[in-house]
Amino acid sequence: MTDEAEQGAAAARRKPVRRIDARSLRGLAHPLRMNILEMLALDGPYTATGLSARLGENTGTVSWHLRHLAQHGFIEEETDRGTKRERWWRVVEDTKILETSEFRDDPDTKGALSVYMHELVQQYFSRVTHYLSEDWDAEWHRSGTISDWCDLRMTPDQLKALNAEFMEVIARHKVTPDAEEAPGALPVIVQIQSFPRKERDN
């Protein structure tokens, strides 16, 4: 493949980028809608019936939240699948960017941002506790890690640079559509949480 062809193929593999605005944030910031979106992202597509069974919610309620997520462009219907009575939903394949600093001083959106961030952290926590409660063989246990580093001191620019390097490493390990998946591969979740800590007086 020529350099131009490789560049074209790489561009086709890149997901479109979407910046989440205030309206979309308010549309997403609901515990049930965030749970629905997570399930569709991890295990989807799903129908409202399938999601309601997993979530323990009424099918009508789930259907309403699915339509709400679709209205805000987070999910879309698989039109070539299902029936008029049983619709399948999938996550819109794009890279979502949320700049939290844009909304912290906006009184109309600050509450939605708080709900969103707290639910997101709860999802991260639940994923870890679920992993710890499952029975894995020794090879997978040795491969996973739950680690933290508390001896770093950085400026905001240094912290941004560290996160950018993390993202570059993750990007190198993503499976592309034209690459063969290794035998025995399973879905892997990588959670990176990096944030400053206020110093306490001695």
Dist CA 54 CA 175 (whole Å)? 28
- Quote the pTM value: 0.84
Q: Which two tokens stand for residue 111?
A: 């509450």
Q: Which CATH architecture has domain 13-144?
A: Orthogonal Bundle (1.10)
> Tokens 């999938």 label which residue?
90
Tell me the C-alpha distance between 89 and 82, whole Å.
10
Total residue length of the chain: 202
3-state class (DSSP) for residue 88: strand
3-state secondary structure at position 106: coil
Residue 183, sorted as left (phi over 0), alpha (psi -120 to 50) or beta, turns out to be beta
What are the pLDDT tens digits along the chain (202 aa)?
Answer: 445 444 444 444 567 899 999 999 999 999 999 999 999 999 989 999 999 999 999 999 999 999 999 999 999 999 888 777 789 999 999 989 999 988 888 888 999 999 999 999 999 999 999 999 999 999 999 999 999 999 999 999 999 999 999 999 999 998 777 777 888 899 999 999 999 999 887 6
Whether residue 43 contacts residue 49, with contact meaning beta carbons closer than 8 Å, is answered with no
Question: d(Cα 14, Cα 10) in Å, to the nearest integer?
Answer: 6
| Domain-wise residue ranges, the chain | 13-144
* Residue 74, phi then psi, degrees to nearest 5: -85, -30
